[in-house]
Chain A
Amino acid sequence: MVSSFSSPFDALFALQRTLDANLASGWLGAGTAGPGSFPPINVFQKGDDFVAVVELPGVDKGSLEIEAKENTIRIAGRKTIKYDENASVHRCERVMGSFDRTIAVPIQIDPDAIRAEMRDGVLALFIPRAERDKPRKISIG
């Protein structure tokens, strides 16, 4: 867990370490699109639900398409970079183009209740676990 650190630097380091430890774990499995395609995705568990965090700098909200069906989520879009035509380029590292990625989550999700938020080039998908997938307490009668 990341929350229990006093210094903000410790917290960041701890976060980076836990992210490293889970690097490409088998959680998403070999879905229709395995890991390695654009955009890179981090998946977190938050209580019962899941949060997928995707870095998409320079991608406009409007050019993003998110679809969910059963337990698959598709993230597609286009990244465009436009500069002044008369500008002379000194250094160009940014890449533009289109992307299309589908992930299959190994849990039962509620596709209608997925919520997407985009802020500062980071897309967060809040994926609620389906009610029927949540553990139930069984009382002994």
Chain B
Amino acid sequence: MTTGQELQVQQKREVEKKQESTVPARVYVPVTDIFETNAALMLALEMPGVDRENIDVKLESGVLTIEGTIDFTKYEGMYPVYTEYNVGNYARTFELSSDIDQERISAELKDGVVMLTLPKLEKAKPRKIKVS
């Protein structure tokens, strides 16, 4: 969430995987903001062109994986004459601390931005301690 007057083009970064995939298509890293409130950890990921149905969020042994696939059938019958950016699916993985309430993870999509809310477990929330 950097404030800038004039927006600049952010080059898309490709996913660097430990394993190579069998399909040659490229996958991009969604630009992400992460912030924390008292109740939850929030992630905002920019995945333009990804439909609500095509977002996959997984949390397995402390590793959060977000994948978004674009519907490229929309590009059928269209021949590019001038291009400045490439399109592809999105994927990103984060390592989380274990104090997330997995059951209550929720996701919201608006204008191509996925907002993930990862509620903290009760024990992980900050407590006010009164001085007696």
Do the beta carbons of A2 and B1 come within 8 Å of each other? no
Q: Indicate with 1 or 0, residue by residue over B27-57, a CB within 8 angstroms of chain A CB atoms.
A: 0000111111110001010111111100000
Counting CB contacts under 8 A, is A94 at the interface?
yes
Q: Which A residue sits closest to B29, measured CB to CB?
A: A93
Q: Closest CB of chain B to A21's CB: distance in Å?
A: 8
Counting CB contacts under 8 A, is A140 at the interface?
no
Q: Which of B1, B48, B81 makes the CB contact (< 8 A) with A81? A: B1
Counting CB contacts under 8 A, is B3 at the interface?
yes
Q: Which of B7, B24, B81 makes the CB contact (< 8 A) with A79? A: B7
Residues of A within 8 A of B80 (CB): 18-19, 21-22, 42-45
Residues of B within 8 A of A8 (CB): 72
Counting CB contacts under 8 A, is A110 at the interface?
no
Which A positions have Cβ atoms within 8 angstroms of B? 1-3, 8-9, 11-13, 15-16, 18-25, 27-28, 35-47, 50-51, 55-61, 79, 81, 83-84, 86-99, 118, 120-122
Which B positions have Cβ atoms within 8 angstroms of A? 1-10, 23-26, 31-38, 42, 44, 46-52, 72-73, 75-89, 109, 111-113
Name 25 A/B residue pairs within 8 A (Cβ), A-sorted: A2-B72, A13-B24, A15-B72, A15-B87, A18-B80, A20-B86, A27-B82, A36-B9, A46-B77, A46-B78, A46-B79, A55-B48, A57-B112, A58-B111, A60-B111, A61-B111, A83-B33, A87-B35, A87-B36, A89-B1, A89-B33, A89-B34, A89-B35, A90-B36, A93-B33
